[in-house]
Amino acid sequence: MLHNITYAVTTDNKSLWQTANTLYAHKQYDSAAVYYEKLLSGGVNNADIHYNLGNTYYRLNKVGGAILHYEKALHLDPHSKQVSDNLALAKGRVLNPLPEFPPIFFIRWWNGLVQSLSPDVWAWLSLLAFCAVLTVIYFARVRKEQFSHSGRWLSVSVVTLLVCGCMAFFTYDARQHSGKAVVMQAGISFFEGPQSNSKVLGTLPEGTVVQINQEEGNYYNVKLPNGREGWIAAQDLSKV
């Protein structure tokens, strides 16, 4: 279950990548984490590195770090069963986890639609729809006699173009900003307002995944897995 991916990420970073994987294979997890983090800090950002780093932090029993990087890997590769299985395994290590309430059916349907195709695919479909619009306009103007119902076909083509264009934007935005964050240490405070002297509503376990609603000063307004909303200091969270 926790076998790392070992093929090279890129030629330029082959040395760091192989060193990190070798250290992991020899159970030198602290050192392996350093090299995986170097890859990320150097601008390399893909699901394989986050997956391997999640495995490394899991081995080090750093639940927050493991869940953070599994979430990042899943955000970049939403259909990876390997990542989702390990994420579930890591969440099983969260002490006193909050109960999770699944989102309503419409949100689940929308999330599934957004994750069904990549932004590139929607962009290509938008281009094809745009070509279809131009083709319909051409036949409607040049071959009006042979091309009946041109208005109907033009309407269908334009609507298809708008839908594909909107989905390209939504999927790209979703890939860029997941809106999620992970609690990185145990026992952090969950406040009623965005100030340190606000009423404390409770404490959260390490590894809790929250949904960020808004930012105010050094605090985030978040939604917990159980549906409650409140404020958490930004320093206590790491964004997915």
Which 8-state DSSP code applies to residue 147? -
Q: What pTM was estimated for this model as a whole?
A: 0.76
pLDDT given for residue 60 in this prediction = 97
pLDDT given for residue 105 in this prediction = 74
Which 8-state DSSP code applies to residue 13? T
**Digit-coded pLDDT (tens) for 18-62:** 999 999 999 999 999 999 999 999 888 889 999 999 999 999 999
Return the beta strands (E) in 109-233 as ranges. 180-183, 188-191, 200-204, 209-216, 219-223, 229-233
Q: Which amino acid is at 208?
A: T
User: How far is the C-alpha of 66 from the C-alpha of 91, rounded, in Å?
Assistant: 9
Total residue count of the chain as it appears in this document: 240
pLDDT given for residue 196 in this prediction = 87
Average pLDDT over residues 82-103: 91
Instruction: Pick the range with the lowest mean pLDDT from 74-88, 91-105, 167-181.
Output: 167-181
What are the Cα distances from residue 7, in Å, to 11, 15, 35, 200?
Answer: 11, 11, 15, 47
pLDDT given for residue 137 in this prediction = 84
pLDDT given for residue 11 in this prediction = 56
pLDDT given for residue 42 in this prediction = 86
pLDDT given for residue 171 in this prediction = 79
3-state secondary structure of 150: helix
Predicted confidence (pLDDT) at residue 168 exceeds the cutoff of 90: no
The mean pLDDT of the chain is 88
When comparing pLDDT for 224 and 167, which is higher?
224
Residue recorded with tokens 């930004």: 234
Q: Any alpha helices (H) in 93-205, and if so which ranges?
A: 105-116, 119-142, 150-176
Contact 162, 191 (CB under 8 A): no
Spell out the SS3 assignment of 46-59.
CHHHHHHHHHHHHH
Q: In this prediction, what percent of the chain has a pLDDT beyond 90?
A: 58
User: How far is the C-alpha of 65 from the C-alpha of 49, rounded, in Å?
Assistant: 13
Most distant CA atoms of the chain, gap in Å? 76
pLDDT given for residue 176 in this prediction = 62
pLDDT given for residue 7 in this prediction = 63
Q: How far is CA 113 from the centre of its chain?
A: 14
**Digit-coded pLDDT (tens) for 97-144:** 998 877 777 777 777 777 778 788 889 999 999 998 888 888 777 776
